[in-house]
Amino acid sequence: MSRLRFPHVFRDPGLYQQALTHRSAGRPNNERLEFLGDSLVGMLVAELLFESHPRADEGELTRMRAQLVSGSALAEVARALELGEALRLGPGELKSGGHRRESILADAFEALVAAVYLDAGWEACRDCVRSLFTERARQLRAPEKDAKTRLQELLQGRGLALPVYELVSSSGDDHAKVFEVACVIEQPPLRLGGHGSSRRAAEQIAAQQALDHIKELLANER
């Protein structure tokens, strides 16, 4: 394994190697470290956001944290550290390009954060995470609430029942599935569909369709 562009020098090289060892390469691997690192990253990023966005409310902070610690966001940090080149993978993952896979990169990054904590303690771990996320946290703006959240809040604000999302169908090969979901609302009575590459994406599209329809109804009532 090559050395990382990482803001911590390990006293225990075994922890460093374990953090970068995928389960496909055998044991000891980074699965347990990833479990611990997930909580550490979430906590330390939450602290950063709390400091850097003093006017953000709980919902905005929650959405910003989700944006910063998502799999794709952590994979982006891992790529900046050239983490993929340092991973230890089994033959199958090597052949399939596992060193570029977002989930593997994100998990290995979280495992590295846990390894720092075990190697040098809380303050070293905190300093490491802050050095990687401070600028990202400062530049981040609170993302708009997603369609499902906005639809739920609209209905709750009018004392109406929450929507139900039904999986209508899924088709296509495993690598290119298409999901159809229906958003069902009791009042006003609606059943609107959405298609997406995942069930979650289809639900968001269906929720947006319902939002647009309800807003049109409300506009016509004025």
Beta strand 178-185 pairing with 164-171: antiparallel
User: Does 34 carry a binding-site annotation?
Assistant: yes
- Is the distance from CB of 125 to CB of 39 less than 8 angstroms? no
The amino acid at residue 79 is R
The answer, yes or no, to whether the previous bond of 54 is cis (omega within 30 of 0) is no
Catalytic residue among 12, 31, 38, 119: 38
Active site residue 146: no
Active site residue 110: yes
User: Does 173 carry a binding-site annotation?
Assistant: no
Alpha-carbon separation of residue 69 from 82, 100, 154, 167, 181 (angstroms): 18, 18, 28, 28, 27
Q: If you write DSSP's letter for every residue of 121-161 in order, what string do you get?
A: -HHHHHHHHHHHHHHHHHH--PPPPPHHHHHHHHHHHTTPP
Tokens read off for 53: 């966005």
**CA geometry: angle 99, 103, 109, nearest 5 deg:** 75
Catalytic residue among 12, 31, 110, 153: 110
User: Does 107 carry a binding-site annotation?
Assistant: yes
Tokens read off for 131: 């050095």
| Active-site residue list | 38, 110
Annotated binding-site members for Mg(2+)? 34, 107, 110
Annotated binding-site members? 34, 107, 110
